[in-house]
Structure 1
Amino acid sequence: MSGTLTDVSFIEAWFRARIDHLFREPFKPTDVRVLEVDQMSRGVSRQTWTVDVEIENHGTRRFVVRRDHEAGSIIASSLFDEYSVYRRLEGTGVPVARVLWFEDDLEWMPDGRPAYVRELVDGDWRLPALADHSPDGDAERIRLSQEHLDKLALVHSVDWRLQGFDRVLRVPESPAHCALDLIEQCVERIASYGGEPSPVMAEAVALLRARAPRTCDRIVLCKGTNGLGEEAWRNGRIVALSDWEMAVLGDPAYDFAQCQEMIPEIIRNGHRIWGLPEALRYYAERTGTEVTLDRVAYYRELYGLLQFTYTQHVAATIRGMERAPLRFVWTATEVAFRSELRMAKHFAGDLMKEGFV
C-alpha cells in the first residue's frame, strides 16, 4: 500500500500496521482511528506533522511524524541520524520525546519518503516571562535561564560512548582538538558538495584554525541549536529538548554559543545581576566543568562556517533542479551570502556598514 501524508485513510492504515510500535507494554490496543493530520508551521530544516489518534477505550493521543522536505533536508545530517540521537537518549534522564519507529519500507513511507514517528510531549516553546524586563520579572527570568542550563548540563553528562553516540557522531581526536575537528568536518563537507570556491571561507578557516582553543578538558554530547523556540516547556520546566540536527561530540562551549535568548543580560543600578559570566559560573558549580568566555566567543565566530556549510549542502541539493523550492533557493543564496558576511566580519570588519572618509 502507498499513500500521502495528507491522506487520513492511508495514515490510519499505516498506524494500524505499526500498532505494536505505538504503545508500551502492557498497554496494547487492538485498533486505532486517525482523526486528523496537520503540518506544523514551525521549523525550517525538515517537515514536522502531527497525527491525532483515537485509541479504543483510551481517548485520544497525538504523535509526530518527522521527515525531509520533498527536495531533501536543509541540514546536512541525515534524518536517520536525527532519529538515532533520540533513540540513544532514551534512559539517560535527558527529557526528550520517545521515538517509536523509523519508516523506510516502500509500502508504508508517506509520499515515498522515509519518516520517523515519535510521541508528542505536551508543552509550549513560548516563554512570556522572558519578555518581562521589569525588576519584578528578574527572578523568574533567571530561574528559567537556570532551568535551561540544568538541562544542558544533563545533556553534557550523558555517557556518549555507553549510549553509542560514537556510532552516529564523529569523535574528536582529543578534547583539545574539538574545535579543529569541527572545522575539518565543515571543510570536508563543503568540498564534497562541489560548489564554487569561496575566498571568504578560505580566509575564515585559516583564522579559525590558527585561533582554535585547546583548553577544553572533556568531550561531551552537545545539542547544537538550543534555547527559546527549540525546547518544550510546561509549568516553567523543560519537558522535552527538541531539534537535534546539529548535535556533535565536542566542547560544551559549542552549546553556549548557540543559546537563543536563554541567558538574558540583567543589569540594575549599574550592577550586573545575570548574564553569560554568571551563567558559566552557575554551570561550573553544577558540573565541575569550566567553560570560558573566550571559548564561547570563538564558537560564536565558528557558527558562520557552520551556517555556510549547510547553505552549500542546500545549493548542492537543488543544483540542476528545474523548479527548486523557494525556501531552498533562499537558503542557498541569501543565507549563504549572510554567512559569508558573518565570517568576513572577523577579518575584514562589518561589510554591511558603509565607510565614510
Structure 2
Amino acid sequence: MRLENVTDVGTWFRHRLRDDVDEVSIERVGRVSRGVSRETWIVDARVVRDGTASDMSFVVRRDLPDGTVIPMPLREEYEVYRRLAGSAVPAARALWMEEDPRWQPDGRPAYVRTKIDGNWYLPFLSSDDPADDDRKIAASKEHLDKLALVHTTDWRALGFDEIGTVPESVKHCATALLDDIETWLATFRLEPSPAVTEALSQLRDSAPTDSPCIALCKGTNGHGEEVWSDDGRIVAMSDWELWRLGDPAYDFAQVQEMVPEIVRDGRRLWGWPEALEYYRARTGIDISPERLAYYRACYGLIQFCYAHHSAHRVRAGASSIRLVWNATEVQYRSQLKLGAACGFAPETGTTT
C-alpha cells in the first residue's frame, strides 16, 4: 500500500472507517513540507455518513524512512492525541494507529487523525506598526488561555500517567526531566560531550524545588505550532512531541514569539511580566523568573538530545537531510547554548 497512491489510500480508509461511514472516496493525497521530525501527509476525502456527503480532511503521520528526529515513539504521539479527546484542550482527534503490516503505508507504521481547518501563520506578529499592537496582545492572551487549559487539565483522569514519567512530587519536577534526558542519551549516545556533562551537573545542583504543581505540559508551543482560525482563536494545539508531566515553566521556556515586547512612548503595553501576571490570574499558577530561566537552560539539553539522536540515525546509515542537518548544525548550536548556560564562551574556551 503506497501512501502517495489515491487508490491505495481509498482502500485503506474504507477498510478502517467501514463501521463509521457509508463510503469514502479519496480526492487528493499530498505531503506537507513543514515540520522536521516526522512526515505529515494530508488526505482530502469525500465521506458519506448516514446518507449525507461531506468533504473531510485527515492527517497521516509517520516516521521518516530513516527514523525520526525526536526520540519519542510514534505510538506515544498517537496516544497523546487519543487522550486529549477527553479534555477541554482543543486538538485534532486521533482515529487509529495502523499496526497491521498489511495496511501500513509503504510498510511503515503510521497513525491517522482529523485535520483541523486553520492557519499556523500570524503575519502581524512581526509588524512594528502600532496599529497591530492590540492584535498582538489579543493573540498572546489567546495563547496563554490555551496554555492555561493544558496546564489545568486533569492529566491523571485522562491517563497521561500511563504513558509519561510522573515526578515523585512537585519538588522533583526538574530532576525528573534531567532523569529522562539521561535515560534517552544512554540509549543512543555516540561520544562524550563536555558541555552536556557540565550542564547536567550544574542543572542538578541548581534544580528548583518550588514548582506549584505537576501539570500536563505541551513542550514546543506558540507561533508555528498551533492552528488558528480566521477570528483569532486557537482551534487546535498541535506538535506534542516534547510533552511531559512537570512544571508549567517548562512550557513557558519554549514559547515561540507569542509574548511580544510592546513599549510605546516609554509606556509598557505588553511583555513577559504582563503575560505571566495574566496567566497567574487565569490559573493561580506562578511562573517565577528563576524557574523560567532554569527551563530555558534545560532546553539546550533537549535540543542536544534530539540532535544527537539524529546523529545516531546517521551513523546507522540514514541519509535524510533532516537528520543530517540536526546531527550537525543543531547539535553544534545546542552545545554552544549549553556552554553559554554553564558560564563558558565556547569560541575561546574562557569563562564569562
Instruction: Report whether the alignment pairs 1:263 with 2:259.
Output: yes
How far apart are the structure 2 equivalents of 1:326 and 1:128?
A: 28
How far apart are the structure 2 equivalents of 1:123 and 1:341?
A: 36
**Distance apart, 1:271 and its partner CA:** 2.2
Q: Superposition pairs for residues 71-150 of structure 1, below 5 Å?
A: 71-150=66-145
Secondary structure of the corresponding residue to residue 249 of structure 1: strand
Deviations 1:97-121 (A, max 9, x none): 1111110101100011111111111
Moved more, 254-263 or 128-137: 128-137
Moved more, 148-157 or 177-186: 177-186
Q: Superposition pairs for residues 292-307 of structure 1, below 5 Å?
A: 292-307=288-303
Q: Superposition pairs for residues 1-357 of structure 1, below 5 Å?
A: 3-20=1-18, 28-56=20-48, 57-234=52-229, 235-321=231-317, 324-352=319-347
Aligned match of 1:25: none
**Distance apart, 1:243 and its partner CA:** 0.3
**Distance apart, 1:217 and its partner CA:** 1.7
State the Cα RMSD in Å: 1.5
How far apart are the structure 2 equivalents of 1:40 and 1:298?
A: 34
**Distance apart, 1:59 and its partner CA:** 3.3
Letter in 1 for 2:146: K
CA contact (8 A) 1:49 1:66 kept: yes
Deviations 1:167-191 (A, max 9, x none): 1111111111111110111112112
**Distance apart, 1:313 and its partner CA:** 1.5
Moved more, 229-238 or 59-68: 59-68
TM superposition score normalised by structure 1 = 0.93
How many residue pairs end up in the alignment?
346
**Distance apart, 1:314 and its partner CA:** 1.6
Identity of aligned residues (%): 50
How far apart are the structure 2 equivalents of 1:258 and 1:267?
A: 23
Secondary structure of the corresponding residue to residue 43 of structure 2: strand
Moved more, 66-75 or 131-140: 131-140
Secondary structure of the corresponding residue to residue 37 of structure 2: coil
**Distance apart, 1:354 and its partner CA:** 10
Moved more, 11-20 or 325-334: 325-334
Secondary structure of the corresponding residue to residue 195 of structure 1: coil
CA contact (8 A) 2:31 2:39 kept: yes
How far apart are the structure 1 equivalents of 2:132 and 2:299?
A: 31
